[in-house]
Structure 1
Amino acid sequence: MNYLAHLYLADDRPLSLIGNLMGDFHKGAVDANLPEDIRLGILRHRRIDSFTDSHTLFKRSRGRLSGPHRRYAGILIDMFYDHFLATHWEVYSDVPLDDFAARVYSIVRQNRSQLPARMQRSMHYLVETDLLRSYRNIDGIDRALKGIATRLTRPSPLGQAITELERNYQFLEADFSEFFPELVRFAATRPETAPDVA
């Protein structure tokens, strides 16, 4: 899953949100010097990714992509699912997406010192471009994919991959609508335990 889904599935505590964002930027054993909520957030992020990547519905969505985009299917479906979460936000949350995003941006700004150096640029981009709210629109997903493509070391077709969302929209939306409630239940019923620490 991508930023919005990880944030939605995080515990509501500020440092849990930070930890769930940090999951893609923190590799290996979890640093014992990190605050507990951040450590547990990183673990939750990893557990959610593991559940998602192995799930039949997520694999079905990946299989809908064509040609050169298949190599990047995991990234693309993560992004497309964030789009569907944003467009159907009111189904899953009583807090408006505008308010949720504003709170996340405030927490990110307040906890900048907790972020690894390699995460700082991405979080600056998240806040300054209002990325979470932009996911409601196909144009927002398109801009995000083009941004990812420019940060990769090798040329990739991600900058043109919005065609996959447009071509498969109804099928991917149906996959998401079936999958996401299962992910929500999984995240709620399997709380993290104390992490292995370095």
Structure 2
Amino acid sequence: MNYFAHLHIASITKTSWVGNLLGDFPVDVGELDSDLLAGWRLHQQVDVMVDQHEASVLFRSMPRKGRRRFAGIVQDIVMDYWLIQNWKRFSAVPLTIFCDQAVLGLVKDKHRSPDRLRNMISSLENDNWLSNLGTLEGVEKAIHSIMRRWRYGEHLQYFLDDLPQVIAQAEAPFLALYPDLLDYVQDEMKKAEATHSLG
């Protein structure tokens, strides 16, 4: 899952908005405040669960131009696309209101964010583009952003060349995976609360 899904999970679990994004940014975990650390840990758990889910295995194995070994990177972005497309199924909060809430939550902890995340939050303050992640143009921009900063970024061009098909391929895996993911994070939060109460 990419930014949007991690923000949705932050809202559901009442954990830090910034903390739930930190898994995608370089941080010194030992220096994180407890609330940010909890979000960071949840992000890691989500990534592992998604990577191992049978729907993700199916998506990565589908025939396409891009290499299978890089399909998981693109999957994270196109899963955000399908979450936004199916937003009313997973949230009673209108999309525009959620996007505003997410940005406000991120801004509150911008000063505790690493530089690249702080820059992203500033970008969202100027132009809240979160809902654009549910558009073809938004998916393209997200992939291009990874291509610019990743040493193997050129390998993602094959996915861009066939992007409408890649997005279509992700719909069924998303619908199979995301309800399971939401159940998983709720269970993990219950376990964490039980452990905290015992402590």
Q: TM-score interval w.r.t. the shorter chain?
A: 0.7 to 0.9
1:17 is aligned to 17
Q: CA-to-partner distance for each residue in 1:125-182, whole Å, 9 max, x for gaps?
A: 4554533110121111112212221222345143552344411444421111111101
3-state DSSP of counterpart to 1:4: helix
User: In structure 1, which of residues 183, 186, 197 is the aligned counterpart of residue 184 of structure 2?
Assistant: 186
Instruction: State how far apart, in whole Å, the 2-side matches of 1:13 and 1:58 are.
Output: 23
Q: Confirm or deny: 8 A CA contact 1:52 1:58 kept in the other structure.
A: yes
Two-structure CA RMSD over aligned residues (Å):
2.6
2:71 is aligned to 73
Report the CA distance shift for 1:39/1:149 in structure 2 as closer, same or farther (over 3 A).
same
Q: Confirm or deny: 8 A CA contact 1:57 1:179 kept in the other structure.
A: yes
2:165 is aligned to 167
**Which one is further off, 73-82 or 147-156?**
147-156
**Which one is further off, 161-170 or 138-147?**
161-170
**Which one is further off, 5-14 or 102-111?**
5-14
1:4 is aligned to 4
Instruction: State how far apart, in whole Å, the 2-side matches of 1:160 and 1:125 are.
Output: 28
Instruction: State how far apart, in whole Å, the 2-side matches of 1:156 and 1:43 are.
Output: 30
Structure 1 position 15, deviation (Å): 6.0
1:132 is aligned to 130
**Which one is further off, 122-131 or 75-84?**
122-131
Q: Confirm or deny: 8 A CA contact 2:77 2:139 kept in the other structure.
A: yes
Structure 1 position 11, deviation (Å): 4.5
1:144 is aligned to 142
**Which one is further off, 150-159 or 88-97?**
150-159
Unaligned segments of structure 1, at least 5 residues: none
The percentage of counterpart residues that share the same residue type is: 27
Instruction: State how far apart, in whole Å, the 2-side matches of 1:160 and 1:100 are.
Output: 33
Unaligned segments of structure 2, at least 5 residues: none
TM-score relative to the length of structure 2? 0.84
TM-score relative to the length of structure 1? 0.84
